[in-house]
Chain A
Amino acid sequence: MNQQEQENVSEEFFPKGAITFFVIMIVLFVIMWLSIYFEVLSRG
C-alpha cells in the first residue's frame, strides 16, 4: 500500500468491519444465552 492510500485510510476510516463484528458477537451472545435458557426450561 502506498503513502497516498495509507493517508486515505486515515481520512476516510469508518469501522464497518468492527460494527459487523460487534453485531455478530451480540448475536452469538444471544444464541448462547438462549441455549442455556431453553436448557433450564427443559428441566421443567
Chain B
Amino acid sequence: MKSYVMKIDKSNRYLMGVLLIIPMIFLVLGVYGGLMQTLFRAGIIQSDPFMGPDYYKGLTMHGVLNALVFTTFFAVAFGNAVVSYALRMKLNMTWAWVSGILMLVGSALATLMIYIGEATVLYTFYPPLKAHPLFYIGLTLLVVGSWVAFWNWIPLYLKWRRENPGEKTPLSVVGIFTTFIVWQIATIPVAVEILFMLLPWSMGLVNEINAMLARTLFWFFGHPLVYFWLLPAYVMYYSYMPKLAGGKLYSDMAGRLVFMMFIVFSIPVGTHHQYMDPAIGAQWKLLHGFFTFMVALPSLITAFTLAASLEYAGRKRGGKGLFGWMFKLPYFDRDRWLFSYLIAGLVIFIFGGISGIVNASYQLNTAVHNTAWVPGHFHLTVAGPVLLAFMGMSLYLLSRYLNKPVKMKGWALSMPYIWTIGVFIFSWGMMRGGLIGMPRRTNTGPSYANQDSALYQPEWISYIDISVVGGVIMTLSVVIFAVVFFATVFAKQKEGEATLEFPTTEPYHDEDVPWLKNFKPWVIAAIIIIVLAYTPVIIDVLQSTAGGSPPFSPENPAPLR
C-alpha cells in the first residue's frame, strides 16, 4: 500500500478545528461533573450544589456531554478525515459545515438547558422525568447533524466504487460506514421517541406519556449507541495500530467480517437492558440476550486478530518465546505516542468485555442490575478503549489539521497509562460495591454513606472511597491531556501547508472474500433480524401498558401538572 499525504484546505482546517476543539471543552466540563459525582457519593461534598451543578444536574452533564456530545462530534470529525483521506476525495464542504453547525447549535441548546436546571433527566432521559423542549430539540439537532455528515460521505463512496470497480473498499472506510449505518438505523427509534412522545409531552400538547414504551425505544437506540462509540476505535485498532506497532494486520478478512457482524447483531439487543422491566415477555428478553452474545463474537475475533497483529510486530522487533513479543512493543516511544492510547484502551477492554457478558447474562443480571456494578462496567468500555482512542486521535488530527506540533509528547504518552490505573481502581470500587448492593445513580453521600443516616451502610464505605481515589486519578490524567491538547492548539504553526497522513496498515493475510465486499446483504439481514426481534417486544409493551404518566422533576415527588 502506497503512503499518501492529503493536503488540507483552509475551510476543512477551520471545520475540523471546530469539530475537535469545542467538544474537548464539553468533555472537560463533563469530566468535572464526573469527579463531582464521586465526591458527592462519598459525602466529601456536603453542600448541594457545590461549585456549579448539584448532584443530578452534574450526573446529567457528565453523561450527556461525555457520552453523547463528545463522542458524536468525534465520530463525525474522524469520519470526515478517514473518508476523504482513504478514498482520496474532497468532501463537499458546504454540507460538512451544515452538519457541524447543526451539531454545535444542538449541543449548545442541550447543555444550556441542563445548566439552567431545565433538563435534569440524566443521559437516558427516561420519562416521567421531563426536560425542557429545547433539550430534546438540541439532541435532535445533534443527531441530525451527524446524519448530514454521513449522507455527505455516501456520494464520495459511490463515486469511488464506480471509479475503482472490483477493488476492495479501504478497511477504514468500511469501519466508518459500519459505524454510521448502525447509527442511522439505531437513531430512528429514538427519533420517534423524541419527536412523537417526549417533545409533545414536554410542550404540554399531551398530558401523559407511556414511560415503558419510551424506555424500550431508548434502548432500541441505547445499546447500538455503544457500538457507535466502539466502532471508530475498532477502525483505529484494525487500520492504524498494527503499523504503529511496527507490523501488519494479521487478517484483512477478519476486520471486514467483524464490521459486517456488527451491522447485523448490534441493534436487536436492547432488551438486555430491560431484563428487570415489566411488560416484555421473558422469551423476547432471552432472544435479545442471545443476540447480545452474538455481538460479543466480533469483539472476540478482534481480540485474537489484534493479538496476532501485535505478535507479528513484536517478533519483527526481536521478541522471542511465547510472550516475548509483548515486551517489544512501542509502549513508551514518543514518536509513536498514539500507540499508548490504543494499547491501554485494549487492556481495559478485556475487563469491560467480561463484565458486559455478565450484564448480558439473563440470570446474572439479577445480581448486578441497577447497582454500581453497571457504571463500573461501562467505564471499562466507553471510558476505556473508546475515550482513549478518541482522545488520542483527537490530538493526532488536531496537530495535522492545524499544522502544529504535538506539545509535551512525554505527558501525552503518559496520560493513557495514568488513566488506566485510575479507571481500574474506580471500576473495581464500583463493581465490588455493586455486588453487595451499592446502587448506581443515587447520591449515597447524604444517605448510605452518612453515619448519621438511618440508611447508613458501613460495608459500602470502603468501595465508595476506592472509587473516589480512582476518580481523582482519572481526572488528573484528563487535566494532563487538556494541558497537552490546548498547548498544541496554541502552539506556533509549522512551516509549510497542513497535510494529513494516517499510519495505514498493510494486511499480512490479504484474503479476497466477495461476500464481504458489499454492505447491502448485511444491511438487509440486519433489518430482518431487527423486525423479528423488536416487533413482539413493541406489541408486548403496547398490550401491557395502559394510560400514561404525567411529568415529574427530581426535586419533587408530586407530578409537575
Contact = CB atoms under 8 A, between A and B. Distances in A.
Contacts of B508: 13
Nearest to A31: B354
Contacts, number: 69
Question: What is the predominant secondary structure among interface residues of chain B facing chain A?
Answer: helix
A9 B248 CA distance: 12
Interface residues on B, range: 20 to 34
Interface string B339-376: 00000000000100111011001011011100000000
Interface string A1-19: 1000010011001011111
A21 B322 CA distance: 9
A29 B307 CA distance: 17
B307 A18 contact: yes
Interface string A21-43: 11001001100110011011001
B307 A15 contact: yes
Interface stretch (B213-221, B311-319, B396-404, B459-467): B311-319
Given A25-B350, A33-B357, A16 B364 contact: no
Contacts of A1: 316-318
Contact of B308 (A6, A9, A15, A40): A15
B364 A17 contact: no
Contacts of A17: 307, 311, 314, 321-326
Contacts of A13: 312, 315, 508
Contacts of B363: 37, 40
A13 B326 CA distance: 15
Question: What is the predominant secondary structure among interface residues of chain A facing chain B?
Answer: helix
Interface residues of A, number: 23
Interface of B: 250, 303-304, 307-308, 310-312, 314-318, 321-326, 350, 353-355, 357-358, 361, 363-364, 366-368, 435, 508
14 contacts: A1-B318, A15-B307, A15-B311, A17-B307, A17-B311, A17-B326, A22-B304, A25-B303, A28-B354, A32-B354, A32-B358, A33-B361, A36-B435, A40-B364
